[in-house]
Every structure is written in C-alpha cells, then in structure tokens.
C-alpha cells in the first residue's frame, strides 16, 4: 500500500493511514450517530456526534493496538516490521518476511485475537462500572437499560463488544485471517513444508470466502443468515469482505510460492551482466535518442572512470521539459550512487525482490566490490518464475 500518509512512529514502526481509511471512518461515524440518536433520543445533536466520533476513534485505536501486538512479537522473533497501515478493512502490519518456524508463526498470530479479546473485556468492564446503579426495572428491559447509559459508558460498551466480535472473527480459519494463519502453523508443524501448508490453508480460506460471498448474495435477496442478518447493505458488505479474503488468500499463497522458488537462487543467475551504460556529461536529448529509443531498457547505470556514479531512469527523464533536453545533462537528473539500493551477485534473488518491492523500483544495480556487475530487473525475475512453475498463472 503506497498511498496515504504517515501519522507517527511506535516502537520504531511507522504508522500510516491509507486514504481508504478516511472513507470507512466517516461511514462508521455516520452510522453510529444514527444509532445513538435512536437509542438516546434525549441526547443533543452535539453529544450524539461527539459520542460517535469518540467511539470510532477508540475502535481504530484498538485495531492499531491489535496490529502493534502482532508487530512486537514479530520483532521479538527477529523479523523486521517496516510499518503498520490503517486502511478500509482495519489494519495490516507490513512484516518483511515469513516466520522462520511454525512456533514463531503461531506466536505472532495468536497475540492479535488475544489482544482484541482482552481489550474488549476490559472496555466492557470499565463501561459497566461507569454506568452506576440502575433501577431494577431496567433489568427486564434491555432497550430501557441502553437508553439510560451515559455517553462514556455507551462508547466503551460499544467498542468493547466490537472488539470481542473482532477477536472471534479473526479466529475464523480463513487464510490470511489470523485463524487461517494459526491453521497454517499447525499444518506446517505437522508437515514441515511451508509451501504445502500455505496451499492447504489458502484453499480453506477460499472455501470460507466463497461461503461468505454466496451468503452475502443470498442476504441481498432476502435470506436471513445467523449473526449477519439480511438486507441489501449487510449482504453486499459480507460479499465484499468474502471477495477481499478470497483475493488475499490467493495472493498470499503466490507470495510463498515466489519465495520458495527464489530461495537459494543467486542474483548472478538472473541479472543482466552487460547492461548499457551512459556517461554523466551527455545531454538528456542524447540519452533519449541514442539510448532510450534504441533499447528496451527503463534505466541506465551512469558510469564515470569505471565507477558507477548513479542511475538514470525514464521517470527521471520525464521530469525534464522537452525544451530543456539539450541544456540538461544526465548528471543533473540521475539518482546518485550513494542514494541507490543495490544487490550483490551472490545475494538470494528472494531478498533482492524484497528490495525491489520496498523501494517500488523496476531494477537494482548489482555491485561486486563496489564495481558494476550487472542489473537485476523485475521482468527478469518474472521470466524466471514463469519458467519454474505454472501456479503463478492460475
């Protein structure tokens, strides 16, 4: 997820907000303000909206704590965590690689649902305590009891109940939900094969996601599904979540297949060892006409006295107005060598691919003893993967 903006840093982990989060936050606030208005007709408009915003903020704060718990356990297992992003469906921890063992996978995963259940239980307890004594008649009338709750207890009890539901929902064995990852860790412990275990967990996840999609469509046409109810909005939402989980299950398995194929494959087997290079003092116009238009390359190492001075790409060229092509030189628009992320010839291709993804670039210079040995391009990796398996095309 590249969109959105950074809001802070917790335990060395960047916290980001995706633009889609703003939509779901506004939707929750709007829905809660309507619900609170029905349950508490005596509240003023300001209190209704204030409680709705407060409950939404508490809810997303609890989701963030859920993801922080995942991330901290991952870091304790020696796995880097780049960031946490809050988006349409809640939050996701950008854990840089798969766990090294079934035990690590289980520990990293189980802490999330446990955190949500603990948060839910604590908030329900505090919310109940903040209510104070109620008349005995409210015990036989839940609606009357809800109507007597103050704004603070209403927010705490709502967020607490939602966290309990979230904790149990995440335990559904639909990969890549937490429950699905727990199932994978069990399969992995039994078989010792991460790829096969991911395949099994992914298929279970796809079955569950299709059940959600079919149930959601049935709800649209009037069927009542236990717990989820019925209706157009609820049905479309359930079907959408099912579709998202199905796509995530397939993508997660593909990532494991890619890692498995590229493991122990050195970069030197995939890199281009004789990439075209350019000098830093040629004009942008010469770069375009003599190199860009005469090759299929998207990037060119910039060489000066047998050393790589930098890298110039098509994106760099696009920043130069056409009337400045003759006046600007390559050195003016290139990325200097000390700012580049590079690979080595003996490095695993899987790690090099991670570098490409992290920087969102198409190629990496490959250096041997600080000298250019070649270029590793995404398309070279894709070609290798296509030669090794047909699973990535399904």
Domain CATH code at residue 291:
3.10.580.10
pLDDT of 227:
75
Asked whether residue 389 falls in the same domain as residue 347, the answer is: yes
Asked whether residue 257 falls in the same domain as residue 307, the answer is: no
- Output the CA torsion 28→32→35→40 (10° steps): 180
Which of 204, 237, 262 marks a domain boundary? Answer: 262
Number of domains in the chain: 3
151 Cβ contact partners less than 8 Å away, ≥ 6 residues apart: 43, 47, 50, 51, 54
Asked whether residue 19 falls in the same domain as residue 137, the answer is: yes
Asked whether residue 256 falls in the same domain as residue 272, the answer is: no
Pairing of strands 363-368, 371-377: antiparallel
Asked whether residue 240 falls in the same domain as residue 143, the answer is: no
Asked whether residue 24 falls in the same domain as residue 142, the answer is: yes
Asked whether residue 223 falls in the same domain as residue 159, the answer is: no
Euclidean distance between the first and final Cα of the chain, in Å? 23
Asked whether residue 152 falls in the same domain as residue 191, the answer is: no
Asked whether residue 294 falls in the same domain as residue 194, the answer is: no
Long-range contacts of 317-324 (CB under 8 A, 24+ apart): 317/284, 317/287, 317/288, 317/292, 320/284, 324/284
Asked whether residue 164 falls in the same domain as residue 276, the answer is: no
Domain residues for 204? 178-262
pLDDT of 357:
82
How does pLDDT run along the chain (394 residues), one tens digit per residue?
A: 445 788 888 988 989 888 888 888 998 899 889 888 888 888 888 999 999 999 999 999 999 999 999 999 999 998 888 889 888 777 888 887 788 899 999 999 999 999 999 999 999 899 888 665 555 444 444 445 566 778 888 899 999 999 999 999 999 988 888 999 999 999 999 999 998 999 999 999 999 999 999 999 999 998 888 877 788 888 888 899 899 889 988 888 888 888 888 888 999 999 998 899 999 999 999 999 999 998 888 899 999 988 899 999 999 999 999 999 999 999 999 999 989 989 999 999 988 988 888 777 889 999 998 889 999 999 999 889 888 876 665 4
Asked whether residue 228 falls in the same domain as residue 299, the answer is: no
Locate all alpha helices (DSSP H) within the chain, ordered by sequence: 19-39, 45-76, 102-131, 142-147, 151-170, 178-191, 194-220, 232-262, 284-287, 314-318, 330-333, 349-359, 378-388
Q: Give dist(CA 239, CA 216) in Å, integer.
A: 5
Phi, psi of 20 (to 5 degrees): -65, -25
Asked whether residue 10 falls in the same domain as residue 159, the answer is: yes
Please say whether the beta carbons of 91 and 1 come within 8 A: no
Residue 88 token pair: 């349409």
Which of 219, 241, 262 marks a domain boundary? Answer: 262
Which of 171, 187, 217 marks a domain boundary? Answer: 171
pLDDT of 391:
62
Report CA-CA distances (Å) from 387 to 270, 347, 370, 383, 391: 12, 21, 31, 6, 11
- The 3-class SS string of 180-192 reads HHHHHHHHHHHHC
Pairing of strands 13-17, 81-87: parallel
Q: Give dist(CA 129, CA 124) in Å, integer.
A: 9
């Amino acid at each position: 997820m590249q969109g959105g903006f950074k809001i802070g840093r917790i335990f060395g982990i960047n916290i980001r907000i995706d633009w889609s989060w703003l939509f779901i936050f506004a939707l929750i606030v709007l829905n809660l303000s309507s619900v609170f208005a029905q349950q508490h007709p005596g509240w003023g408009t300001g209190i209704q909206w204030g409680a709705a915003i407060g409950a939404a903020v508490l809810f997303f704060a609890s989701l963030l704590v859920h993801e922080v718990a995942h991330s901290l356990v991952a870091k304790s297992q020696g796995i880097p965590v780049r960031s946490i992003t809050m988006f349409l469906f809640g939050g996701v921890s950008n854990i840089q690689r798969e766990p090294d063992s079934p035990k690590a996978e289980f520990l990293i995963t189980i802490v999330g649902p446990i955190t949500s259940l603990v948060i839910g239980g604590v908030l329900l307890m505090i919310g109940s305590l903040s209510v104070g004594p109620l008349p005995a008649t409210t015990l036989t009338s839940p609606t009357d009891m809800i109507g007597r709750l103050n704004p603070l207890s209403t927010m705490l009890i709502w967020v607490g109940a939602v966290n309990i539901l979230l904790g149990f929902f995440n335990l559904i064995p639909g990969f890549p939900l937490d429950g699905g990852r727990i199932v994978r860790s069990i399969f992995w412990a039994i078989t010792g094969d991460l790829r096969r275990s991911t395949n099994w967990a992914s298929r279970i996840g796809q079955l569950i996601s299709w059940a959600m999609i079919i149930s959601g469509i049935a709800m649209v046409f009037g069927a009542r599904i236990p717990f989820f109810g019925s209706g157009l909005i609820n049905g479309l939402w359930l079907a959408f979540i099912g579709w998202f989980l199905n796509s995530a299950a397939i993508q997660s398995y593909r990532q494991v297949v890619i890692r498995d194929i590229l493991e122990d494959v050195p970069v030197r087997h995939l890199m281009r060892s004789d990439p075209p290079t350019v000098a830093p003092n040629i004009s942008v116009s010469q770069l375009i006409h003599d190199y860009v238009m005469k090759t299929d390359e998207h990037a060119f190492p910039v060489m000066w006295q047998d050393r790589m001075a930098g890298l110039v790409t098509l994106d760099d060229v696009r920043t130069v107005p056409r009337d400045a092509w003759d006046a600007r030189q390559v050195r003016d628009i290139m990325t200097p060598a000390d700012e580049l992320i590079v690979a080595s010839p003996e490095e695993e291709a899987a790690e090099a691919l991670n570098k490409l993804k992290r920087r969102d670039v198409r190629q990496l210079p490959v250096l041997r003893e600080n000298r250019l040995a070649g270029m590793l391009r995404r398309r070279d990796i894709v070609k290798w993967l296509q030669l090794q398996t047909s699973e990535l095309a399904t």
